[in-house]
Amino acid sequence: MAVPLTLGAAGDAGAAGDRPIVFARYTAAASIEDLYTISSSGGTPVKLTHTSTVSDVMPSWSPDGKRVAFVRYGSGGAIDGIWSMKITGGDLKAVPGTKGASDPAWSPDGKRIAYSKPVGTQREIYVADIDGTPATRLTHTAADDLHPTWSPDGTYLAFNRADAGGHSRLMRIKLSTLAQKAITASGSHDWTPDWSRNNRIAFSRVDSSGFARLYRVRPDGTGLRRITSARLNDKYPSWSPDGSRLVFTRGGADDADPEHLYLVRADGTGLTQLTKTDSHDMQADWRP
């Protein structure tokens, strides 16, 4: 069941540029994951889904901010597929043909959705109209292709390709020709890219420190810059609409440690903790 979105007091203040952030949360006491929103200026998170037997994860805003696509899976771990719902509550719709799919990403024009879906023992990238048809398979590899993200003009997708050796690099694919090009080097550990409106790709990299840190790079692979440097694990970056900041998940070195949402500027300054409860807050997406 979905509930209407009401921002906390900070959001009601109407700060300039303030947009809500949607994310998935679970706690040690309640392992079922639900979706929440929080104002980018802080406040109390608002619970969007209330499900006792299935988990809702990996949310993605529609470009007009009126709907959220997400993945729903059962207690046994079987992925039910991709769904969407109005952010004001209700109108829950399954996207046909997405059983087992993950990592939904709404196209900039709001007409299509990209996702990762199993084919045999691998996962490949697909794109479909928001009603699920026609679904087009974009990649055909012996690796796992995950977490697609759209270029601002909708002509490319970036994603991470994970091989059997445990490495993962960023790739991009042109939708009109299916031509692919590597963005980051082989032997990397690069995950969960997010493409900004001002043409930068943020991602999480496990670097020589042994920790996952945020980096950014141009789509052609140039201009690589590290954004965060704490001895903690930073993952799931999502750009603000103007490309000036990122929201991301920060967790400790131990999987049992809580994971919180943080904000940071693209140059690594202005670090702010956004959520503070004893929970695991992940996969945030900043409203366009």
Tens-level pLDDT at each residue, the chain (288 residues): 333 333 333 333 333 368 999 999 998 887 899 999 999 999 999 999 988 889 999 999 999 999 999 999 986 777 889 999 998 778 999 999 999 999 999 999 999 999 999 999 999 999 999 999 999 999 999 999 999 999 999 999 999 999 999 999 999 999 999 999 999 999 999 999 999 999 999 999 999 999 999 999 999 999 999 999 999 999 999 999 999 999 999 997 666 789 999 999 999 999 999 999 999 999 999 999
Q: Which residues have a Cβ under 8 Å from the Cβ of 256 and sit 6 or more positions away? A: none
> Which pLDDT score, from 0 to 100, does residue 88 have?
77
pTM: 0.92
The whole-angstrom separation of Cα 213 and Cα 232 is 8
Q: Which residues have a Cβ under 8 Å from the Cβ of 214 and sit 6 or more positions away? A: 202, 203, 204, 205, 226, 227, 228, 234, 237, 246, 248, 264
CB count within 10 Å of CB 230 equals 13
Point out which residues pair with 24 in neighbouring strands: 35, 282
Return the SS3 of 11: helix
Return the SS3 of 12: helix
DSSP state of 222: -
**Residue 268 · residue 227 · CB < 8 Å:** yes
Return the SS3 of 117: strand
> Which pLDDT score, from 0 to 100, does residue 5 have?
35
> Which pLDDT score, from 0 to 100, does residue 51 have?
83
> Which pLDDT score, from 0 to 100, does residue 75 have?
67
> Which pLDDT score, from 0 to 100, does residue 67 have?
96
> Which pLDDT score, from 0 to 100, does residue 10 have?
32
> Which pLDDT score, from 0 to 100, does residue 12 have?
32
> Which pLDDT score, from 0 to 100, does residue 8 have?
33
**Residue 106 · residue 22 · CB < 8 Å:** no
> Which pLDDT score, from 0 to 100, does residue 81 have?
93
